[in-house]
Chains A and B, each alone.
Chain A
């Protein structure tokens, strides 16, 4: 039994189809991150799961129960919002217990749950304050607490950390991970932030235009993106794309005067394709002095951007800009002629027409 199961979900706002025939199965206790560009329908999907939007088509099951038409409070979900959405006129305690009072839980039970949540989130000393007297990080903790006290199976997070500053964000990120390890609830988490996605997720769903492009473990998404969009979206600095052709029955990739040996490529049947694209991550390229036939690309160093420990070096090869990530102490001087060593096992090939990974 899946914890959350979405079947053929479609949603229209007027004429605009925001979610298109979407399917998603989430396992018990899984941490799923929905990642995608602005406006791709992440929040909309989350709101559908929460029952805050009516589907145009499709079904939603949570814990095996068909909740497609159930009220938000009957679905066994808790939700945390980007803007915290705390009730300003109530104290923290009031915020945490509001839903429980509506559900008419006995007083002792409410008190017990509030205590437990405030212990887990370390907000005990704040219980009698109003949200206005809390910092952003504290507010978000309370918002998480409000989902926690509901004692639900599934947590929905809509960019919960994006209103916080960078330091707080990374602190709360770790805390969320700890929370998940402790509670083992199913979590569905929307974010813009790749780091959050890569660090938190058991599986990442990359969305674009209301469609899930790829749903896989972070490492798979990173190493073996299923199409050009995913490849370009994940990874920062972004993957280098070079257009060319595959020749020799799929044994080599050719662009300009350069030929790269494709033996050792991990993927499907390459074949001879007149239009192909090779994707090389900046961190999977190395700058070497000596050319090795079939393994290196000759290039000229243009500029570099130091980023702390690493430096992003921009080179020109065959009229194309290629970026390479090197340790800061190894950055080459501008104008130098070098060679870029390609790790074929870690590269990705795409068919230019279908944009799919080969």
Chain B
């Protein structure tokens, strides 16, 4: 090689491009348009919720308010009317909390233990059981609504919080169990064996070895369950009974029952209030989720 020196000084390959190229411009333009498309409704909701009714009726919906006020928010929370009662959406909020918290905890507790058993303590017919479970998670749940009405009625809990909690817990189980089984099955088998040689039993291995290693999957589960249950409308309407309606149902009632003119600002505020819980969950746990994955990536 005669010109070895020139190889050393001139890098091979194409020259790096400047930051703004034609292609990049197009990509960013499309992304910005998409982002605006999704952000615009949110923007309008937030703006409207801070306006007074007079301003809503007179002004342009895109124009920011000149006199921001929290009136619509406090009305939505405290005194908006849902047909009969005028107690605001807070009643629904607390109902949703009462429904979501126990169903999430119970379904995840049961599903994680079931998944652990299926993955690590094979019993007779465990494969059959797993297959049935798999099928269970694909059956459209509409099919089971009426049978569950009868069951909860027979149990004497129809139209109570217990009924919705039970239904949510049951419907969460197949997919959650699947999730946990697959996660536990993906953990190194030798870890399980080492723990057994160390004398850890069924619960010892679960709580002291597996659970601490499973932050990511528990996070995913909580996200799925909380958002799923919080956003649910159908089961709430059917099983909870009017005094226990969750937030989604109550929001619907507020929006649809306004007598006289529609109070758009109150509706917007109520909607944001309802959506804020799943949104927060995404923002907060998203961070832990990533962190959990990073921490779990160490294969001891």
- Taking Cβ atoms with an 8 Å cutoff, the residues of A that contact B are 47, 50-52, 71-73, 77-79, 81-89, 98-99, 102-103, 130-132, 139, 146, 150
Contacts and interface: CB of A to CB of B under 8 A. Distances in A.
Contact of A132 (B190, B197, B300): B300
17 contacts: A72-B193, A72-B196, A72-B199, A73-B197, A77-B197, A79-B194, A81-B190, A83-B188, A84-B300, A87-B194, A87-B209, A87-B300, A88-B296, A88-B298, A99-B198, A99-B200, A102-B200
A71 B202 CA distance: 12
A49 to B, nearest CB: 11
Contact of B193 (A52, A102, A103): A52
Interface in B265-300: 296, 298-300
A79 B197 contact: yes
B136 interface: no
- Give 4 nearest A-B pairs by CB, closest first: A73-B199, A99-B198, A132-B298, A86-B300
Given A52-B193, A139-B300, A85 B213 contact: no
Contacts of B195: 87, 98
A69 B208 CA distance: 25
A86 B195 CA distance: 9
B198 A85 contact: no
B199 A99 contact: yes
Interface in B170-202: 188, 190-191, 193-200
Contacts of B300: 84-88, 131-132, 139
A131 B194 CA distance: 15
B204 interface: yes
Contacts of A47: 193
Contacts of A88: 213, 296, 298-300
B199 A103 contact: yes
A84 B212 CA distance: 18
- Among B191, B213, B296, find the residue whose CB has the most chain A CB atoms closer than 10 A: B191
B197 A102 contact: no
B298 A79 contact: no
A73 B190 contact: no
Contacts of A78: 197
Contacts of A77: 197
Nearest to B211: A89
Interface of B: 188, 190-191, 193-200, 204, 208-209, 212-213, 296, 298-300
A102 B194 CA distance: 13
Nearest to A53: B193
A146 to B, nearest CB: 7
Given A73-B198, A73-B199, A99-B198, A85 B298 contact: no
Contacts of B190: 81-85
Contacts of B212: 89
- Among B188, B194, B204, find the residue whose CB has the most chain A CB atoms closer than 10 A: B194
- Among B199, B296, B300, find the residue whose CB has the most chain A CB atoms closer than 10 A: B300
A85 B200 CA distance: 14
A132 B199 CA distance: 23
A41 to B, nearest CB: 17
Given A82-B190, A85-B188, A85-B191, A131 B298 contact: yes
A73 B196 contact: yes
A87 B197 contact: no
A150 B198 CA distance: 8
A89 B204 contact: no
Nearest to A99: B198
A54 to B, nearest CB: 11
A139 B298 CA distance: 12
Contact of A98 (B188, B198, B213, B298): B198
A228 B231 CA distance: 70
A79 B193 contact: yes
Contacts of B193: 47, 50, 52, 72, 79, 81, 85
Contacts of B296: 88
Given A72-B199, A99-B200, 8 more contacts: A52-B193, A78-B197, A79-B197, A82-B190, A84-B300, A85-B194, A99-B199, A102-B204
Contacts of A99: 197-200
Contacts of A79: 193-194, 197
Contacts of B204: 102
